[in-house]
Chains A and B, each alone.
Chain A
Amino acid sequence: MLKIENVNIKDIQNEIIDEFSMFDDWMQRYEYMIELGKSLPLIDDQYKTEDNIIKGCQSKVWVHAEMKDGKIIFTADSDAIITKGIIAILIRVFSNQQPKDIIEADTSFIDEIGLKEHLSPTRANGLVSMIKQIKMYALAYQTQLN
């Protein structure tokens, strides 16, 4: 799991935008995402349950959340590698953050790195529902804190 200490969501997003700006074309961007998708063990097998599954028409996504020291740790996975690559990026942004920051965060950085199409609600790959789910978890944990 990536360790990111005390870095806020906006800074991570800008960091990702910087990284992606180095790529010349879509193929390099996709090769990078595929690399991310392949290299990261994203979720413990015990959490790949029916309860944690988001069924898209195209690919499946699993999301698990737990609270640690006031921050939410997200782990997730997908059966499709490109979806998994995008999950890796989303986890890097949203995991290990405080619930209120997650609730307030937006995902417009995805447009800037040229991956907008993957977050289209009609794409049915489970990613839009995954972000919704992340926000729901944040809302639930925030309510607990209050």
Chain B
Amino acid sequence: MKSTNQHITFKVDKIRKDFPILSRKVNGKPLVYFDNAATSQTPQVVIDAIVNYYSNYNANIHRGVHTLSQEATDAYEQARQKIQKHFNAQHSHEIIFTSGTTHAINLVANGFSSLLKKDDEIIVSALEHHSNIVPWQMLCEQTGAILKVIPMNQEGELIISAYDKLLSENTKLVFVNHISNALGTINPIEEIIKKAHDVNAAVLVDGAQACPHLKPDVQALDVDFYVASAHKMCGPTGIGMLYGKSTWLNKLPPYQGGGEMIEEVTFEKTTYADLPYKFEAGTPNICGGIAFGVAIDYLNSIGFDAIASYENELLNYATQNLLEIEGLKIYGTSPNKTSVISFNIEGIHPYDIGTIVDKLGIAVRTGHHCAQPIMDFYEIPGTVRASFSFYNTKEEIDALVYAVKKAKTMLL
């Protein structure tokens, strides 16, 4: 537990003023937003950037000689550089704008379809979101490759000794999330990457859940591909990024055909544009890309050390107080976890708790969190998931604890 001074030095009251939505009411009660792992809220600076784009320099990029197009192009490419710097990528062309994490994963999966052959192996983890399982199943069906799964333990951690046994010279790709969306477990990706590289396999890390809480250094990690979504990082929906080492990105074929991604087209042959445009067919989400850059600036202005430390304080406070409710069980109890609490109360369906808690103005997520294999592992239909962000407060956690107690009284 961190000292309460942290709370004072971390000016949460001031930060909350940056988010207009936090002052609204839901069902007559002040909104308590604890669904941050699904999407984060948007600060005014990001909203302003979106309004400013459409008010002042909305234009298609890269192909116009007029001023507006030039301004939009500059802003979009500056955003790419901000993202490059944030993730410490070696080159800005290693940052590909995508519509989000799912799109980025599919882009890589599609690329590997031309590189894999029968009996090659892909390793994924048992902690994956559906969007991290389905593209690989499709890829295996297409290529005859085999999908292997790193199992998890009761605490919701990956069993690394089992991973060691799965790795072989047949392993071509390892795919794992940095942080589990359903349980909040932080996976030991450094170790996973190093071991995969020992057998010359590439590694794709899904950073969707990690990037709101920490600042990954893709070069230090030596990761081959890393993906993230802006909307979980205080940015808008519909934009995300794929980082790929340029050696890998050059090896992969284009994903979609269209404008932007071509160099020269005749009916006989088309030559593709260089990175990153090879993977950015069609008019991109220009405004989204620019706003993504602004969101990254915003997060860095608060600082990831401060964010992590404060969120950890919220996690500890919530864990302690929720566990005082008799019959409440938390799923995902690794000491290495982020500010996500997945729980159930014995004898009560998560949907029922979520419904009552919503009536009290608290937004949590219920269900299988698109991670059915994890729910099957625990033999439960789903969980209630409360996920905290740096703009949440202990008072809001008190409101959650009260609401869960109320729901329990009503439902049992």
Contacts and interface: CB of A to CB of B under 8 A. Distances in A.
Interface of A: 26-27, 30-31, 34, 57-60, 79-83, 118, 124-125
B289 interface: no
Interface of B: 27, 348-352, 354-356, 359, 366-368, 381-382, 410-411
A80 B410 contact: no
Contacts of A80: 349, 351-352
Contacts of B366: 58
Contacts of B349: 59, 79-81
A64 B356 CA distance: 28
B141 to A, nearest CB: 23
A124 B352 contact: no
16 contacts: A26-B27, A30-B356, A30-B359, A34-B410, A57-B368, A58-B350, A59-B349, A60-B381, A79-B349, A80-B352, A81-B349, A81-B411, A82-B352, A82-B355, A83-B351, A124-B367
Contact of B352 (A31, A57, A60, A81): A81
A59 B381 contact: yes
Contacts, number: 41
Contacts of A58: 350-351, 354, 366-367, 382
Contacts of A59: 349, 351, 381
Nearest to B355: A82
A59 B351 CA distance: 7
A86 to B, nearest CB: 11
Given A34-B410, A79-B349, A26 B368 contact: no
A30 B381 CA distance: 22
Contacts of A82: 351-352, 355-356
Contact of B411 (A34, A60, A79, A124): A34
Contacts of A57: 367-368
B224 to A, nearest CB: 33
B182 to A, nearest CB: 13
Nearest to A26: B359
Contacts of B352: 34, 80-82
A34 to B, nearest CB: 6
B317 to A, nearest CB: 27
B188 to A, nearest CB: 30
A124 B368 CA distance: 12
A33 B349 CA distance: 15
A31 B410 contact: yes
Give the 3 A-B residue pairs with the shortest CB-CB distance, closest first.
A80-B349, A80-B351, A58-B351
Contacts of B354: 58
A94 B196 CA distance: 59
A125 B368 CA distance: 12
Contacts of B351: 58-59, 80, 82-83, 125
B44 to A, nearest CB: 28
Contacts of A124: 367
B166 to A, nearest CB: 30
A6 B83 CA distance: 69
A58 B358 CA distance: 14
B98 to A, nearest CB: 25
Nearest to B347: A81
